[in-house]
């Protein structure tokens, strides 16, 4: 048995392609990620792009450090993770706050709509509150047509004001997770 997202339709691929284009348009050249079915399309596009460096992480907090390192090296990075991984980043986000590193996170939400895994629910309820408590600006994307614009604006805010910004993609938007 494995878990996967329900098959995506072409409109799902279209908004994810637009999000990738928005990231490229804001100068992101490094994509740090823990493998996640909700981000599979973005990961695939990043891996296929010769101008993007992808970094596979073993845990999400490594992505905070990798993103800070990218900034120190003159590059812009994004951290892709699932809401359950936000809890792993809390202590490392103090680095971002104390040193005023820009940080852009794209978070696929679990534990919201049609969730089958009860372990996903507690962190889902806490994600926005925990991020805000660590000084992260949080915005949500509920509709496909707003995704690229929100990501572009979040990147401008993060890199323009050297602060942490997280974009939360609603579970209903990314699709129902199914167990096979």
- The whole-number pLDDT of residue 11 equals 60
Q: Are 40 and 77 in contact (CB under 8 A)?
A: no
d(CA 75, CA 5): 32
Average pLDDT estimate for 4-24: 75
Taking only the tens place, the pLDDT of each residue in 103-155 is 999 999 887 877 667 787 667 888 999 999 999 999 999 999 999 999 999 99
d(CA 71, CA 115): 36
- The whole-number pLDDT of residue 121 equals 66
CATH of the domain at 46: 3.40.50.970
- The whole-number pLDDT of residue 160 equals 96
What domain range is 61 assigned to?
3-179
Q: Are 70 and 132 in contact (CB under 8 A)?
A: no
Given a cut of 90, whether residue 20 has pLDDT beyond it is yes
Taking only the tens place, the pLDDT of each residue in 66-107 is 999 999 999 999 999 999 999 999 999 999 999 999 999 999
Query: Which string of DSSP letters, residue by residue, matches 42-85?
Result: HHHHHHH-TT-EEEE-SSHHHHHHHHHHHHHTT-EEEEEEEHHH
**Coil, strand or helix at 32:** strand
Q: Are 49 and 85 in contact (CB under 8 A)?
A: no
- The whole-number pLDDT of residue 53 equals 98
Q: If pLDDT is split at 50, 70 and 90, which confidence band does 180 have? A: low
Inter-helix orientation angle 10-25/40-48, to 10°: 50
Given a cut of 70, whether residue 41 has pLDDT beyond it is yes
Domain count, the chain: 1
d(CA 105, CA 136): 10
Given a cut of 90, whether residue 51 has pLDDT beyond it is yes
């Amino acid at each position: 048995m494995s878990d996967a997202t329900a098959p995506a339709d072409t409109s799902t691929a279209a908004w994810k392609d637009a999000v990738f284009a928005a990231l490229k348009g804001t100068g992101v050249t490094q994509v740090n990620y823990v493998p996640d079915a909700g981000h599979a399309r973005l990961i695939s596009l990043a891996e296929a792009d010769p101008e993007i460096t992808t970094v596979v992480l073993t845990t999400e907090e490594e992505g905070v450090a990798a993103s800070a390192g990218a900034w120190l090296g003159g590059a812009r990075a994004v951290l892709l993770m699932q809401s359950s991984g936000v809890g792993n980043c809390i202590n490392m986000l103090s680095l971002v706050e104390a040193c005023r590193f820009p940080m852009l996170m794209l978070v696929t939400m679990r534990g919201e709509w049609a969730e089958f895994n009860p372990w996903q629910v507690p962190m889902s309820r806490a994600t926005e509150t925990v991020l805000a408590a660590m000084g992260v600006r949080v915005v949500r994307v509920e509709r496909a047509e707003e995704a690229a614009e929100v990501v572009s604006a979040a990147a401008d805010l993060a890199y323009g004001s050297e602060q942490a910004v997280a974009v939360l993609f609603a579970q209903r938007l990314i699709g129902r997770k199914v167990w096979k």
